[in-house]
């Protein structure tokens, strides 16, 4: 599950990286959480553009928005099936996942080792979007059993082409096979001892 991600590059870098005519009208915080507005990239046949929907599709049966959609069941779920033609790119510089360590959870920042902007595969419904997830790449499987789909190479352009039937782009929704993924884990904070107790 991807419940937080990072967009650590500014608007100018996003315009260059994703061949946009202009950046979105406002810019979000560096670390993005569910319900935050975040830039996603669309191509409705008139060229690429960036918009700022909220992260998470509303769900009538749940108080929490649907921030992720499983790649394996997209075409089976009635919530996502109508959106299979409403595909988008979700720009990011990293995402965060928590590794269970006994009773503790350790926060990991995960990104392609070569750095820079990349894109998750997403679906958009008007003012909301969701990020598609898949099984993890082998190098990070010890952290969590899911990861967001990171599109590589010409996969970004193929995913955005609205005229392409979903069945032809579904094979893109696989664990990342580009450069190695790097995971940087936060070090646990050391508890300070009693200043007045025995040394």
Q: What is the mean pLDDT of the chain?
A: 90
Which of 9, 72, 76, 97 is flagged as catalytic? 97
Residue 199 has pLDDT above 50, yes or no: no
pLDDT of residue 193: 44
For residue 193, tell me if it sits in a domain.
no
Q: Has residue 194 been placed in a domain?
A: no
**pLDDT confidence of residue 44:** 83
User: Which residue segment(s) compose the domain that 22 sits in?
Assistant: 5-185
Band (158; pLDDT cuts 50, 70, 90): very high
Using the predicted structure, report yes or no on whether residue 198 has a pLDDT greater than 70.
Answer: no
Residue 129 CA from chain centroid, whole number: 10
Asked whether 97 and 117 are in contact (CB, 8 A), the reply is: no
| pLDDT surpasses 70 at 79 | yes
97 is catalytic: yes
> Would you say residue 49 lies in a domain?
yes
| Residue 30 counted as domain residue | yes
Q: Which of 2, 88, 134, 156 is catalytic?
A: 2
CATH of the domain at 133: 3.90.1680.10
Measure Cα distances from 87 to 69, 98, 140, 142 in Å. Answer: 12, 27, 26, 30
Cβ neighbours of residue 122 closer than 8 Å, sequence gap 6 or more: 40, 87, 88, 89, 90, 129, 130, 131, 132
User: Is 190 known to be catalytic?
Assistant: no
Average pLDDT on 137-150 reads 95
Q: Does 58 reside within a domain?
A: yes
Residue 108 backbone zone (phi > 0: left; psi -120 to 50: alpha; other: beta): beta
Provide the number of structural domains found in the chain: 1
For 167-184, the pLDDT digits (tens) are 999 999 999 987 789 999
């Amino acid at each position: 599950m991807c419940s937080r991600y990072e967009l650590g590059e500014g608007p100018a870098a996003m315009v260059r990286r994703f061949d946009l005519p202009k950046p979105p009208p406002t810019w979000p915080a560096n670390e993005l959480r569910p319900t935050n507005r975040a830039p996603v990239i669309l191509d409705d046949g008139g060229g690429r553009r960036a918009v700022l929907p909220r992260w998470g599709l509303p769900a009538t049966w749940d108080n929490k928005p649907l921030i992720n959609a499983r790649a394996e069941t997209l075409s089976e779920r009635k919530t996502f099936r109508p959106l299979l033609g409403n595909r988008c790119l979700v720009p990011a510089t990293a995402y965060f996942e928590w590794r269970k360590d006994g009773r503790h959870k350790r926060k990991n920042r995960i990104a392609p080792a070569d750095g820079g902007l990349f894109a998750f595969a997403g679906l958009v419904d008007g003012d909301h979007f969701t990020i598609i997830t898949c099984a993890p790449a082998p190098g990070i499987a010890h952290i969590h059993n899911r990861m967001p789909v990171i599109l590589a190479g010409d996969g970004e352009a193929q995913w955005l082409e609205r005229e392409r039937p979903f069945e032809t782009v579904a094979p893109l929704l696989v664990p990342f096979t580009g450069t190695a993924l790097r995971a940087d884990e936060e070090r646990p904070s050391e508890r300070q001892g009693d200043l007045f107790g025995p040394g």
